[in-house]
Amino acid sequence: MLIEIKVPDVGAPQVDVIEVLIQAGDNVVLDQSIATLEGDKASMELPSTANGVVQQVHIKPGDKVSEGTLIATVLVAEVAAAVAAPAPVKAPDVAPPVVKLTEPAPITPPTVSSSAPVQPATSVSNVSVHASPSVRMFARELGVDLGKVTVATGRKGRILKDDVKLFVKHALAEGVVGTAGAGIPSIPAVDFSVFGGIEVQKLSKIKRLTGQNLTRVWLNLPMVTYHDEADITEMEAFRVSLNSEKAKDEIKITALLFIIKALVAAMKQFPSFNASLSSDGESIILKKYFNIGIAVDTPNGLVVPVLRDVDSKSINQLSVELAEKSTKARQGKLLPNEMQGGCLTISSLGGIGGTAFTPIVNAPEVAILGVTRAKMQPVWNGTEFIPRLMLPLDLTYDHRVIDGAEGARFMAVVKQNLSDIRRLLL
């Protein structure tokens, strides 16, 4: 016979159907979860009130239901009555219809080792997902399809929050975030041609790989950006005087070279800026070398050649090396090992303009320094305003390794080194 399963009293006028766990043809047993409902303050799993075969499901995700709303109809066989009844002496002329109930496969409990009290991981079927309402809500917040979670460590194959977190972690490690993000809804496709003419261009490989890396960093690192300005009036005057002494065919000295030197001097005072966080997040790897990455804009995208051992090289040596690597970068001739091993990166927009921006850390580094165009500003010296050349600086750092006070102190030292380059001799 057919049994109707309806919404019981849920203590609210209306609730939302979040998830439907059955479909027509499924076998259900008493108290099995068949749907998840959610009100204003809580979510709940709706249990089956009968054993049998689902004939029809009357709700779908997104519906609003209330007490008495029909959820599903289930075909039930009266097994107990059939067993208790005496065997008929004579078969009837017309055989009565027999309803065959397919019993669900028994659940085999996981084997527990005497030496390991923790329940072993259980493979989860996409069809039948066992998880508490709080875990389902947690998964929905992350955008995770519980049917794709293949490991469940809870009792009787139940998915726990840690299983969902592990699924997201593996998705991040496999680069899923490069496309739609692990657990993040993708942006829907739009046919832009209906609004006018379009042209489709393939992204270069560099831009695609850069995009994947930056997305991974953005999702994994808690980043903070600190903005400040350095007075480079004397430094610029010194740089101009040095270039005036050079021959026409000699490579000129740029302000970026002084920034590199000022940065390395500050990194020696603050070792946490010359470090990387271990993959398990339990320790910091302090580096004893000083390699600085320089973000270079090329026709194919952004690349970061690395200047090695900058603390042991002169301004003139760095000037020649930076010119050579920048040229190779724009020609697409940089080798992979020339873009590896950086300790901290500088991203300079000085030749273009701008007043500030938020650079993204080039992980596994823990910080990046952004530079925009310097400009003359009136600065109060205590008695009057005087014109000074001020350079905007933007320091983004990984907050897991560097806190706000340390970031501010680091920037203060960088500013001091740039304002008075004689400090670099100390």
**Catalytic residue numbers, as ranges:** 343, 399, 403
Burial 181-212, CB ≥16 within 10 A → b, else e? bbbbeeeeeeeeeeeeeeeeeeeeeeeeebee
Query: What is the C-alpha to C-alpha distance for residues 52 and 75, in angstroms, rounded to an integer?
Result: 5
Q: Quick check: 33 and 47 in contact, CB under 8 A?
A: yes
User: What Å distances lie between residue 405 and 276, 362, 409, 411, CA to CA?
Assistant: 19, 21, 6, 10
Give the up-direction half-sphere exposure of residue 13: CA atoms within 13 A in the CB hemisphere.
0
Place of tokens 């009130």: 49
**What letter represents residue 32's amino acid?**
Q
β-bridge mates for residue 20, sequence order: 35
Nearest 5°: the CA angle 94, 99, 103 is: 155
Largest CA distance in the chain: 122
Give Cβ neighbours of residue 138 (< 8 Å, ≥ 6 apart).
Answer: 161, 164
Residues 6 or more apart in contact with residue 194 via CB below 8 angstroms: none
Residue with tokens 């689902």: 54
The rounded radius of gyration (Å) of the Cα atoms in the chain is 33
